[in-house]
Amino acid sequence: MTIFKWDLYEISTETSPVQGVMFRGRVRKFGLQQQRTILTENATDKENVVRFAVPHGEDVTEIKKFVSSIVADSQVTLIQAALKNPVLAQFRCNIESRYTI
């Protein structure tokens, strides 16, 4: 069995709200309309940040353009590439060394 790898991005802005304004749902719907696999979630460990993940290596240029069209002062930043089974809400959950089984 192969585990999918994901590239994890953060959307942030200094002045415009991105949480509580149906922002992540719009990003999700954009993915559906464009036939793109995309996961979205509000960050719970940072204020006014939404995270999204796409399959590793996919071009996110169109997603960045869409995000910018909704929130002009937004920044989209890659925070980790090739992440297995990402947790989007709290980034620290993705640090495998934190956990034992």
Question: Which residues touch 76 (CB under 8 Å, ≥6 apart)?
Answer: 9, 10, 11, 60, 63, 64, 67
Q: Would you say residue 7 has pLDDT above 80?
A: yes
CA–CA gap between residue 4 and residue 47 (Å, rounded) = 28
Q: Are 74 and 12 in contact (CB under 8 A)?
A: yes
pLDDT digits (tens, 9 = 90+) for 21-44: 999 999 999 999 999 999 999 999
The pLDDT, as a whole number, for residue 101 is 85
pLDDT grade for 99, boundaries at 50, 70 and 90: confident
CATH entry, 5-85, from 3.30.70.100, 3.40.50.10860, 3.40.50.960, 1.10.150.20: 3.30.70.100
Residues 6+ apart with CB under 8 A from 74: 11, 12, 13, 16, 18, 67, 68
Comparison of pLDDT for 98 and 79, the residue scoring more: 79
Q: What pLDDT is recorded for position 67?
A: 98
Confidence of residue 98 (pLDDT cuts 50, 70, 90): confident
